[in-house]
Chains A and B, each alone.
Chain A
Amino acid sequence: MLASNQGHNNMPHQDQSCLSIDAFSLAYAGKQALHELTLEIPRHRVTAFIGPSGCGKSTLLRAINRLHDLNDETSHQGRIMVEGIDIHSPDIDVSELRRRIGMVFQTPNPFPMSIYENVAFGLRLQGRTAKRKRDDIIEWALTSAALWDEVKDRLHQSAWQLSGGQQQRLVIARTLAVQPEILLLDEPASALDPVSTLKIEELICNLKSQLTLVLVTHNMQQAARVSDFTAFLSQGELIEYGPTDQLFTNPRLRHTENYITGRIN
């Protein structure tokens, strides 16, 4: 289903779409940050958002998790649908929504507690789980995040003692533990060294079979390496969205071309 070299019309179909963004606009303190974005994000694929700083890629990602709710001064139009449900509809439980849509941030942010407790955090929020079952889930989450072997002997040490790359994988494990359907990654490797970055990228590719991933990155090579679809945003607008293979060999628009090849626009 990925790019053949001829067609431009191999975009995800409606029925493969897990997350659909429909004419979504967002204003922050009266300033328009996103302009009527429309795109379908396919299930069990990695979709990357790229674009220059301040283009709104992170804002869009945070909007999917309704993190902009935390601010009184934002307003939005249009819809974001997760599996056909409008996330802004009034009877949506935001906590439940955020459990279904995990998010990983730029700087690793483990909580000031042990490795075990970090991964158990989301489970504890949901209520009591039998210790046996919780242990199983934690082992599974840490294994999925390719961290289990490195930390299994020190689960009860502070998470802040881990290296940056390990911390970021711990954060991913923490998110996986509540079994989200979508994982949003906001420049997850930009604070890490090259080897840790590769580990995170490998992890992203492996997680694809379990959930849908959306990645914001300013590293174009990273987007090219790990994503199946790429959206290029600029100044709050969606410029081009297509299969990564096509976008990085033969983009349709000059604007995209200039950005990904490092030309003066």
Chain B
Amino acid sequence: MPEPRVAIDIEIPSDVSYIEGVVELAALRCHELHIPSRKCTLNVRVALAEALSNAILRGNGGTGRHVRVRAMVSDDALVFDIVDDGPGFDMNSTRNDPTTPENILREDGRGLFLMHRLMDRVERFVEDGNVVRLTLNRE
């Protein structure tokens, strides 16, 4: 089986204005890799936007640091690592179901939910920074 290869490896300033450009680059690479179009336009764009937003606002706690985005592609999956260099945060601390009647009118609390619904796997670990790993299976 061929080794996974690098599809994206970039570092951006910790600033939300950079999110849109990274997301569009990822969607473009996704299309080039012949992953089903709907997964590129919806799953990749929204889940990656959420992960970047979390890394910048919660992981790094704002500006002055950096966020690294790596994407590896294999025959089976597209895997994004979003790495911030902040003190880390508990991804499960806010893991309420935003679709319940008591939560649906809340303004926040949908980011992690969307990542889990739009990706096949969401992991968090520490390795040269705080890593959120999003795995999207090709099929």
Whether chains A and B associate is no
